Structure 1
């Protein structure tokens, strides 16, 4: 059966595939019971504390606007692109911000190519609510000629690996990609619009008002127990969940709770206090990664 190297690669592939398939099966009664018992003792099955998030890794691409974010074993890629289009008739002086999500069957076998599942629709709406409706991006700054030409900014989110909590990972990837993106510079002379290539004139960053970040909580035991950043098993076993979108200014941009058990107001306030800490940490990480990338590019130019 081929060389030793080929056999090793084959068995590694089978192991990776089967382990992913195991993760995508519905949790058994014993798994759920073990998870709940661990949570009652203040522990989680992956070794984290109840308020701990998994490690976040942000990788910026060589091209402006491409970012990969890994949250534990959950991985999402974001790519931002821009084109000049005609504005909407009711908003002649505003640019357009679009979000497109695609969950690859490679991320999870439960997702089918070409078919948008309820989970994918919910993720897309949550990200759109967090970034577009919170006015994080200055869309008026995307206007070139009122009523005639504006920039359309498109954010493509590709979900590469699903090990729970796709929303938080996608929100970090989307806002980081928007912060990293640069659009071509434009000169307007009368009715003539000139778009300058990036190699001829420095590209222009988007105007970002604030950095909204999603923090997701999962609830168990009638809402008495909660965890931050649920992994796949916790996400499949939860009795309810809630996503709080917040920025580093302690402003709640959006709150999403799609069904599940009802929550007391004290529990919601408790989650918001936890979210403040997590958002501040992630906000600092994003800014640090962007600063390092900026310094690296300036060094390479010299």
Structure 2
């Protein structure tokens, strides 16, 4: 949605509400909207998740394939992201769809393809030669604001759902051969203890809001993307948008994001564990 589509009166109404910690939909500045998570819904993947939040619908699938390590990280696996917004109503996006998806993809790669976020060494098969590469595809079906945060929640749920097959290495006459096990009991889970969710903190007036609607994003004078994990540690900071942010503003936005991330991470993990215990692919939760 373009900022030009909002009337000045509507913009002022949104800013005034944020100032009083009462947004247009009744939420406080640090509240996330209700959403549902489903996992294990794409059969030809190693892990998948779907997030639905009012008008937002995001599907994430993860495929694990054997490949070569990156030259600068020869003893670890790595992640490859791709975001597809072709099913989303592109008339709502300012600029070209290609630039928009590229920006989303690069933001995800900078945050998640790191040993500080995921145990990439556990993806090593033969050091320096063969590793697991996780191809993470995110399809945006609908969007009602705060898209990157929604994708990050779906990515974390899909990583929790991902199972990596066991691999045996056979050395016959000096030739190494890899054999991938098809035994479900030989699969391993990924640890998501350090995997963050992204909390985009938008400056509106003199206050900051998380999980902004499209209208609120149009009123934002600056945005900071803050990745926060289960331990409430900051994993990454990225500035987005054209507005400037002074240092004191950044510190306040970080604290706002951390406050919002605590219940978000806790509820997501509890829900995923409940789903795993009940062997039920459908679940939903409400983050306050």
Q: TM-score interval w.r.t. the shorter chain?
A: 0.7 to 0.9
User: Which has the higher mean CA deviation after the structures are superposed, 77-86 or 141-150?
Assistant: 141-150
Closer/same/farther in 2, CA of residues 92 and 242 from structure 1, 3 Å limit: closer
Match of 1:27 in 2: 6
Aligned mates of 2:63, 2:3 — CA distance in 1: 33
Match of 1:4 in 2: none
Aligned counterpart in structure 2 of residue 195 of structure 1, from 180, 187, 201: 180
**Structure 1 position 253, deviation (Å):** 0.9
Match of 1:285 in 2: 267
2:288 is the counterpart of 1:297? no
Match of 1:155 in 2: 136
Preserved contact between residue 193 and residue 230 of structure 2 (Cα < 8 Å):
no
Closer/same/farther in 2, CA of residues 91 and 129 from structure 1, 3 Å limit: closer
| The structure with more strand, counted as a fraction of residues | 2
Closer/same/farther in 2, CA of residues 280 and 103 from structure 1, 3 Å limit: same
User: Which has the higher mean CA deviation after the structures are superposed, 45-54 or 177-186?
Assistant: 45-54
Match of 2:122 in 1: 141
Preserved contact between residue 83 and residue 151 of structure 1 (Cα < 8 Å):
yes
Deviation digits for residues 3-57 of structure 1 (CA, Å, limit 9, x no counterpart): xxxxxxxxxxxxxxxxxxx999822223212222333343212221222211232
The number of residues matched between the two structures is: 272
Aligned mates of 1:41, 1:111 — CA distance in 2: 29
Aligned mates of 2:39, 2:218 — CA distance in 1: 31
**Structure 1 position 259, deviation (Å):** 4.1
Match of 1:82 in 2: 64
Match of 1:214 in 2: 198
RMSD between aligned alpha carbons? 2.6
Describe how 1:253-268 pairs up with structure 2 within 5 A.
253-268=235-250
Match of 1:6 in 2: none
Closer/same/farther in 2, CA of residues 120 and 110 from structure 1, 3 Å limit: same
Match of 2:16 in 1: 37
Match of 2:112 in 1: 131
Match of 1:100 in 2: 82
Preserved contact between residue 197 and residue 261 of structure 2 (Cα < 8 Å):
yes
**Structure 1 position 67, deviation (Å):** 0.3
Q: Tell me the SS of whatever aligns to 1:210.
A: coil
The TM-score, its normalising length taken from structure 1, stands at: 0.80
Aligned mates of 1:198, 1:286 — CA distance in 2: 29
Aligned mates of 1:139, 1:37 — CA distance in 2: 46
Preserved contact between residue 24 and residue 110 of structure 1 (Cα < 8 Å):
no
Preserved contact between residue 134 and residue 254 of structure 1 (Cα < 8 Å):
no
Describe how 1:108-127 pairs up with structure 2 within 5 A.
108-110=90-92, 115-117=97-99, 119-127=100-108
Extract unaligned runs of 5+ from structure 2: 281-288
Larger Rg: 1
Deviation digits for residues 127-160 of structure 1 (CA, Å, limit 9, x no counterpart): 2222113631222211112233211111101111
Match of 1:13 in 2: none
2:31 is the counterpart of 1:52? yes
Q: Tell me the SS of whatever aligns to 2:21.
A: coil
Closer/same/farther in 2, CA of residues 25 and 181 from structure 1, 3 Å limit: farther
**Structure 1 position 249, deviation (Å):** 1.9
Closer/same/farther in 2, CA of residues 90 and 128 from structure 1, 3 Å limit: closer
Closer/same/farther in 2, CA of residues 226 and 90 from structure 1, 3 Å limit: closer
Q: Tell me the SS of whatever aligns to 1:126.
A: helix
2:212 is the counterpart of 1:230? yes
The TM-score, its normalising length taken from structure 2, stands at: 0.84
